[in-house]
Amino acid sequence: MVIGNSGESENRGLSLIEALLVLAVLTIIVTATLPDLAEIRGAAALGAASSRIKGLLFRCRAYAILNSRATAVVFEHRGDGSWRCFIAVDGDGDGIRTRDIHRLIDPVVGEVLHLDGGGAGLGILQDEFVPDPSGRGRLRGDLGDPVRAGRGNIITFTPRSTATPASIYLTDHRARMRVLRVYGGTGRVISRVWRSGWPKWRSEGM
């Protein structure tokens, strides 16, 4: 009795070449769907830098209210492109001044944050149409100045919960930005996010 072999080719499984082709296709699909590792790291670093500064602003506001003294977050731009920021307290009743900080009249309290100029941190994306968070077209002014607090880099909170109106811009230097906005009448701090191609800023978490 002769057993036919017409179904043998159907049951023999994949050849080595076919298996390699399937593996190559799967690799392409997985690679295409996975986000860029550098982008993930940049987004995480940007979020961490934003959280650190936001925490410093909250602590400053609380200190001003609890101690009934004007207290400020001070941003200092270093010569190497990095920044440092810290909380200083009005020691002589004339407001927080850079000169008085250097003379130790307005003492620094708590930790000093150091933000590397080469990594995610303070900054504004260049050569991009970055919208104004207020919804008034393009972000204008000095794009090399990420701390917009009047004419200086000092954001003061008062015991009455008011503050210097300010916007603090951060970027991953790739495609993402965040802004921390301080509202003068209430001292509230809100965070918004933006990335290249978006027509406007979005609330954090959207």
Domains of the chain, earliest start first: 37-203 (3.55.40.10)
* Each residue's pLDDT tens digit, 153-168: 999 999 999 999 999 9
β-pair type (108-115, 83-89): antiparallel
Q: Which residue has the higher pLDDT, 150 or 72?
A: 72
At residue 2, does pLDDT exceed 90? Answer: no
At residue 113, does pLDDT exceed 70? Answer: yes
What pLDDT shows up at residue 127?
86
The model's confidence at residue 131, banded by pLDDT at 50, 70 and 90, is: very high
137: number of Cβ within 10 Å? 9
* Each residue's pLDDT tens digit, 168-190: 999 998 899 999 999 999 999 99
* Each residue's pLDDT tens digit, 97-111: 999 999 999 999 999
> SS in 3 state form for the chain?
CCCCCCCHHHHCCCCHHHHHHHHHHHHHHHHHHCCCHHHHHHHHHHHHHHHHHHHHHHHHHHHHHHHCCCEEEEEEECCCCCEEEEEEECCCCCCCCHHHHHCCCCCEEEEEEEECCCCCEECCCCCCCCECCCCCCECCCCCCCCEEECCECEEEECCCCCECCEEEEEECCCCEEEEEEECCCCCCEEEEEEECCCCCCEECCC
Overall average pLDDT of the 51-64 stretch:
96
What pLDDT shows up at residue 204?
79
At residue 60, does pLDDT exceed 70? Answer: yes
Question: Residue 98 half-sphere exposure, CB side, CA atoms within 13 Å?
Answer: 8
Contact 50, 181 (CB under 8 A): no
Q: What is the mean pLDDT of the chain?
A: 87
* Each residue's pLDDT tens digit, 6-31: 444 455 566 888 778 888 888 777 66
The structure's pTM equals: 0.81
Residues whose CB is less than 8 angstroms from the CB of residue 77 and which lie 6 or more positions away in sequence, other chains included = 83, 153
What is the spatial distance between Cα 7 and Cα 176, in angstroms, rounded to a whole number? 58
Overall average pLDDT of the 44-70 stretch:
95
